[in-house]
Amino acid sequence: MARDVLAVINSSFDTFSKGQRRIAKYILENYDKAAFFTASRLGEETGVSESTVVRFASELGYDGYPAMRKALQEMITNRLTSVQRIEVTRSIINEKDILTSVLSSDIEKVRATLEEIDRDEFEKVVDAIIQADHIYVVGMRSSSSLANFMGFYLNMLFPNVHVVNESYASDLFEQIMRINKNDILIAMSFPRYSRKTLSAIKFARDRDVPVISITDTETSLAARLSTMRLYAKSNMLSFVDSLVAPLSLINAIIVAVADRSEGDLLEKFSELENIWAEYQVYEKNDM
């Protein structure tokens, strides 16, 4: 349910019970923190029971508290500044054991991604990549690491892979100006969403180019503009974007593409190993 939660709360405020008004007031004033609280934690902060918090979410029309919290997160994730991110993180992470908190959060995001992935769409994405004449991979800001990783491995499999580098807006279009409907654009888009990535998607779609978006939610603009979509859960950890689940999904795509693409994979990598050995690309392990 893609709605502005704050607007719904404001419009319904007068109909709430005393306890629900306390919840509503807290969310309106602290929505950046409330979006990451459990129902129990929000109840503690507002002085009401957990069941009251759950009923509040139902009163707003959501199928339980997790649905309302998800809507809040989707609404605000791209709005938060780095300073707000740090403040939110301090309120939701156990500072006495940051290692466990962060790794546990990443594990949960990978698990949720696996449970919710559209497997038919995954197969379509793999087929589209294999069939494309040229493969363009774009990702800006923190998502550039995902684009570079995917481009690095796809380049070992196909001759016409182009990673679109972070650049001025005009240079962005120069890098993809030859893209056509026989090619494909793969766009990485995670909060805070980059305008340049969206510009690349629009440019491609205007030229009838199929676009695959790898993003965090169906409400992101990248997802709405794309022809194929795969979702991976990302997480906001202080000023850092946690992209473990997206990277794992990209790993799966690369392995599936390699497994299904024409040609002898062993032959390709045997040739690469000879090249790497000749030019001493890697440190030799005599042991």
Alpha-carbon distance of 242 to 262, in angstroms, equals 34
pTM for the structure as a whole: 0.70
For the chain, 287 residues long, give each residue's pLDDT as a single digit of tens: 335 788 888 888 888 999 999 999 999 888 878 888 889 999 999 999 999 999 999 999 899 999 898 888 777 665 666 555 656 566 556 566 778 878 887 898 899 899 999 999 999 999 999 999 999 999 998 899 999 999 999 999 999 999 998 765 568 889 999 999 999 999 999 887 889 999 999 999 999 999 999 999 888 889 999 999 999 988 665 546 789 999 999 999 999 998 887 666 667 777 777 877 777 777 776 55
Residue 82 is predicted with a pLDDT of 53
8 Å CB contact between 140 and 194: yes
Residue 285, C-beta contacts closer than 8 angstroms, at least 6 positions apart:
none
> What are the structural domains of the chain?
5-76 (1.10.10.10), 113-278 (3.40.50.10490)
Q: What region does 280 belong to: left with phi over 0, alpha with psi -120 to 50, or beta?
A: left
